Chain A
Amino acid sequence: MDISRDDLKIEFKQHLITYLNLLDVKVDDIKDDESLFGGDLGLDSIDSVEMIVLLDREYGIKIKNPTEGRQVLVDVNTIVDYIIANRTK
């Protein structure tokens, strides 16, 4: 888990592209503070479930509370902060 916050952002974005099969999207295209839902990425509710799966499989984080999910799955910054605070692997 010795990974800097910036490197973690890049790693998470790579996972995001893979899990969500974001065609023609590169790591640099995803801004840290850009809203993931309703923004240029065009993510929807199914993607939020895919992200919950991503967090579980890659970082050992289980989000079970919908309210908590809404606060976490906002942008890359909020998700990475949550990963740093809660990751189990």
Chain B
Amino acid sequence: MYIKAISAISPQLTYGDEYVQGDFQIHTKGIINAIEPNYLAIIPASLLRRMGKAVRMGIGAGLPLIKNYPAIDGVIIGTANGGLEDCIRFLNQIVDYEEGVLTPTNFVNSTPNAVAGQLALMGEKMGYNSTHTNGSLAFDNALLDAKLVLESSDKPMELLVGAVEEISDYNYNIDTLNKHYKTESISNEDLISSTTDGSLCGEGATMFVVSNEKEGAIAEVVDQFQICFPENDEIAPLIVDFLSKNKLTPQAIDLLLFGNAGDGRTDFWYNNLQKEVFPNLAIHTFKQFCGDYRTASAFACYQAIQLMQKHSIHGFEGQQPTTILVYNQFSGERHGFILLRKLPLAMKMEH
């Protein structure tokens, strides 16, 4: 599976050129909110007024790709929580108004497949449309789904695949009660070096145009692997097998892009893997840019591809990787690996 184009709305200035020119946005409020663009340039006001944050971020990141790649046939989205703010608002209304008259807009936004559905409607995409909601592997599964769809097609095909997550009061409060976020005040700039419990809550929408043909592609999703509730000593041999399956050794990896979240309870997963399998490679991280959320591995893939394009990402100066391993887990429960390889720019000229 090949990646032809990428787009993101994130806590960094990824919608413009600032992010790839080395700009780093510092967030100090404990919640790393996305920096949203002026959607009115992308989404008609009559539609925008009905969109919750998750939906408008998803549309804002995905619709420009759909417009630039008219051959896109279907849409596959991964989201752990979808439009949770509207979902809970809708559920509260059921109680507050005793199951009486309810507003349709909150309901429309509350369903996780609202993003993929709206993208298909606005982009007039009649093909495969699917939304994966299995927690912190939702994006990984969306990617796997896209791979299966593309592999089953006997003709050139393009899909829009991506992930969306919003910070809502509800998921933030629930995850806070679950001790997922730090209690002390800390900036995202200092997140990764922190060793206290918890991380910083993030959000964003990340979209990719994927295809089963190499022409015009900038990167390849070589393979991916997922595991739930592994034992502590299970990850290292699994990743060696994973690489071996792809005819690679650990030495073939140029850059490790790991999901260290500054969480003293779970960062050992990354650190142990690096020590055991990649002792000659440093860990590079992405959650200082986007915060911690269940589908953050999509942002990691976005960042990996930007690095492959030789862009000057803050803290990655001088890096020109060809093969990048993305490893992310959430709460130590669900772990996902995505192996990405740069394609030579000359590939566009081959045909």
Chain A interface (Cβ within 8 Å of chain B)? 19-24, 42, 44, 46, 49-50, 52-53, 56-57, 62
Contact = CB atoms under 8 A, between A and B. Distances in A.
Contact of A20 (B40, B48, B49): B49
12 contacts: A20-B49, A21-B49, A23-B45, A23-B49, A42-B46, A46-B104, A49-B104, A50-B105, A53-B101, A56-B100, A56-B101, A62-B101
B92 interface: no
A19 B50 contact: no
A3 B101 CA distance: 26
B59 to A, nearest CB: 15
B102 interface: yes
Nearest to A55: B101
Nearest to A43: B46
Contacts of A50: 103-105
A24 B103 contact: no
Nearest to A63: B101
Contacts of B105: 21, 46, 50
Contacts of B102: 53
Contacts of B100: 56
B229 interface: no
B49 A22 contact: yes
Interface in B107-127: 108
A57 B102 CA distance: 10
Categorize the interface residue count of chain B. Answer: 10 to 19
Nearest to A50: B103
A57 B50 contact: no
Interface of B: 40, 45-46, 48-50, 97, 100-105, 108
A48 B103 CA distance: 10
A40 B174 CA distance: 42
Contacts of A24: 45
Nearest to A52: B101
A48 B46 CA distance: 14
Given A21-B50, A46-B50, A53 B103 contact: yes
A60 to B, nearest CB: 11
A49 B101 CA distance: 9
Contacts of A53: 101-103
Contacts of A23: 40, 45, 48-49
B118 to A, nearest CB: 13
B49 A57 contact: no
A23 B47 CA distance: 10
Contacts of A57: 97, 101
Closest 8 pairs (CB-CB, A-B):
A21-B49, A42-B46, A56-B101, A53-B101, A23-B49, A53-B103, A49-B104, A23-B45
Contacts of B48: 23
Nearest to A41: B46
B324 to A, nearest CB: 40
Nearest to B103: A53
A19 B45 contact: no
A52 to B, nearest CB: 6
A20 B48 CA distance: 11
A56 B98 CA distance: 13
A44 B105 CA distance: 12
B106 to A, nearest CB: 10
A42 B50 CA distance: 13
